[in-house]
Amino acid sequence: MRMGTSKWLFVAICSCLLVFSGGRELKARHIDHLPIYNHTLATILVEYASAVYMSDLTELFTWTCSKCDDLTKGFEIIELVVDIQHCLQGFVGVAKDLNAIVIAFRGTQESSIQNWIEDLFWKQLDLNYPDMPDAMVHLGFYHAYHNTTIRPSILNAVKRAKKFYGDINIMVTGHSMGGAMAAFCGLDLVVNHKAHNVQVMTFGQPRIGNAVFASYYGELVPNTIRVTNDHDIVPHLPPYYRYFPQKTYHHFAREVWLYNIGLGSLVYRVEKVCDLSGEDPSCSNSVTGNSISDHLTYYGVEMGGETAGTCRIVMDPGLVNYGITDLGGNFILSRDPASPLLKLNTQLENDRNPL
Ligand X SMILES: *[C@@H]1O[C@H](CO)[C@@H](O)[C@H](O)[C@H]1NC(C)=O
Please give the residue ranges that form the binding site for ligand X (CB under 6 A).
38, 40-41, 98, 147
Cα separation, 329 vs 87, whole angstroms: 11
Calculate the dihedral angle through the C-alpha atoms of 77, 70, 144, 142, rounding to the nearest 10 degrees: 110
- CB-wise, 38 or 293, nearer to ligand X? 38
CB of 38 to ligand X, least distance (A): 4
- CB-wise, 87 or 308, nearer to ligand X? 87
CB of 328 to ligand X, least distance (A): 8
- CB-wise, 98 or 283, nearer to ligand X? 98
Residue 251 one-letter amino acid:
H
- CB-wise, 41 or 80, nearer to ligand X? 41
CB of 147 to ligand X, least distance (A): 4
CB of 142 to ligand X, least distance (A): 10
- CB-wise, 67 or 151, nearer to ligand X? 151
How many Cβ atoms are within 10 Å of 14's Cβ, its own excluded? 13
- CB-wise, 98 or 190, nearer to ligand X? 98
CB of 244 to ligand X, least distance (A): 27
Strands 88-95 and 76-83 turn out to be antiparallel
- CB-wise, 40 or 353, nearer to ligand X? 40
Please write down the HEC assignment for all residues of the chain.
Answer: CHHHHHHHHHHHHHHHHHHCCCCHHHHHHHCCCCCCCCHHHHHHHHHHHHHCCCCEHHHHHCCCCCCCCHHHCCCEEEEEEEECCCCEEEEEEEECCCCEEEEEECCCCCCCHHHHHHHHCCCCCCEECCCCCCCEECHHHHHHHHCCCHHHHHHHHHHHHHHHHCCCEEEEEEECHHHHHHHHHHHHHHHHHCCCCEEEEEECCCCCEEHHHHHHHHHHCCCEEEEEECCECHHHCCCCCCCCCCCCECCCCCEEEEEEEEECCEEEEEEEECCCCCCCCCCHHHCCCCECHHHCEECCEECCCCCCCCCCCECCHHHHHHEEECCCCCEEEECCCCCCCCHHHHHHHHHHCCC
Residue 113 one-letter amino acid:
I
CB of 140 to ligand X, least distance (A): 10
CB of 111 to ligand X, least distance (A): 19
CB of 207 to ligand X, least distance (A): 21
- CB-wise, 131 or 351, nearer to ligand X? 131
Cα separation, 339 vs 78, whole angstroms: 10
- CB-wise, 41 or 287, nearer to ligand X? 41
CB of 41 to ligand X, least distance (A): 4
Q: CA nearest 137: which of 333, 58, 146?
A: 146
CB of 234 to ligand X, least distance (A): 24
- CB-wise, 41 or 296, nearer to ligand X? 41
